[in-house]
Amino acid sequence: MKWKKSSLTTKIIIGLLLGAIVGIALNQFAPNAFPYLDSYLFTPIGKIFINLITLLVVPIVLFSIILGTAGLGDPKKLGRIGFSTIVYFLLTTAIAIIIAMTLANVISPGTKGNFDISNVSFSAGEAPVVTDTLLNIIPKNPFAALTEGNMLQIIIMAVLIGLALTALGKKTKGIFDLVEQGNEIMMYLVTLVMKLAPYGTFGLIATAVGSQGFGAMKAMGLYMVVVVAALILHGIVTYGGTVLFLAKKNPIWFVKNFAPAMSVAFSTSSSSATLPVSMETAREKLGVKDSISSFVQPLGATINMDGTAIMQGVATIFIAQVYGIELTMAQMLTVILTAVLASIGTAGVPGVGLIMLAMVLTSVNLPVEGIGLILGIDRLLDMARTSLNITGDAACALFISEQEKVREQMRA
């Protein structure tokens, strides 16, 4: 069993590397063959995998949060866990942006190289307004929330149902059992779908890498280096620190065991699609309590996006530098605040972080067209930041779960 599990991780990583190699090779040496292989091979393989896991997201969030809330039993405990989770999410996101802006100011990627701003363009379209997201958190129609896959609304509804199940006890035992069995079915399906992960990862990465314009990467190299360095730094310092000091576990053990979920996030660029996998991995391999994982990870996949905030922090400084605009201290604080809010409002799907960047730029009167500069290379960075996004949720889940275990031991 153990051999089988570690071999799946290895297979996923091989799929990821092969996808990257094939994508780069086709892009460089057979650019004419790429569109055919992509339409008939890579995209279908990737799509089948991504659709299969996305299919599980809404039922898993609904069932597991109902069970998680009912499993916690007492609303006070729910309040305590909810509070610690949200404080952790907000604090770590703020730390992420501070790391990002500091690195961008020190390395100053926007002042090195020639950037042509005469014809860049970007239309922000309809970036969701954060206050709307917060106000809409209570669903008017639960079925609409489910069909639209509106995560925050589903979370609220599931918490309410969970509380009712706890209060009604024996009377609603039938429904409780039904939800529990539904959850079992979904978790079983996650394990099944994960068997396809190595192939899905291969297809998704081959498409993403093969369709890149590598020419654009040269000009944007330093910007990309700063974003990736900030992602790695935040991962090591903030999450490493969380695992080591708060959860009292070994960070290397954490990364090794959580790697399959990180690879799936990397290839799908979607926290939301990765959710079933990241929950299963946290429970099975990191030993996170089911009731905590049910609650912390879906919430995190929706509102906690440190990787996205890092890209936004670096991008804001970069765009200011390219346009020769000096940001004041007050403006930098505004960026921190708006990027934390943007992280809450960003949906866990590919590319939304870039749309929310428009809001951050507008808050300090920077030109939104500047996004046009980083548009071409954002797909690759999206992969890396999504990996970090879900890692933050897992680090938080592990910390809260270990803290609860200690409390239980002390009570026993």
* Residues near ligand ASP, by CB under 6 A: 269-271, 305, 308, 346, 348-353, 382, 385-386, 389
Neighbours of 348 (CB within 10 A): 29
Nearest distance in Å: CB 198, ligand ASP: 21
Q: Please, which residue, 161 or 355, has the CB nearer to ligand ASP? A: 355
Residue 268 CA to residue 263 CA, distance in Å, equals: 9
DSSP state of 113: S
Kindly give, in sequence order, each residue whose CB lies less than 8 Å from that of residue 387, ignoring residues fewer than 6 positions away.
262, 263, 265, 266, 307
Q: What are phi and psi of 248, to 5 degrees?
A: 55, 45
Q: Please, which residue, 344 or 352, has the CB nearer to ligand ASP? A: 352
Helix, strand counts (H, E) of the chain: 20, 0
Nearest distance in Å: CB 253, ligand ASP: 24
**H-type alpha helices, 169-250:** 173-194, 197-210, 214-219, 221-234, 240-241
Give the residue carrying structure tokens 């680090």: 395
Q: Please, which residue, 113 or 351, has the CB nearer to ligand ASP? A: 351
Nearest distance in Å: CB 350, ligand ASP: 5
Kindly give, in sequence order, each residue whose CB lies less than 8 Å from that of residue 54, ignoring residues fewer than 6 positions away.
270, 272, 273
Nearest distance in Å: CB 312, ligand ASP: 8
Q: Please, which residue, 23 or 350, has the CB nearer to ligand ASP? A: 350
Nearest distance in Å: CB 331, ligand ASP: 22
Q: Please, which residue, 64 or 271, has the CB nearer to ligand ASP? A: 271
When CB distances to ligand ASP are compared, the closest residue is 353
Nearest distance in Å: CB 330, ligand ASP: 26
**CB contact at 8 A, 206 and 42:** yes
Q: Please, which residue, 353 or 370, has the CB nearer to ligand ASP? A: 353
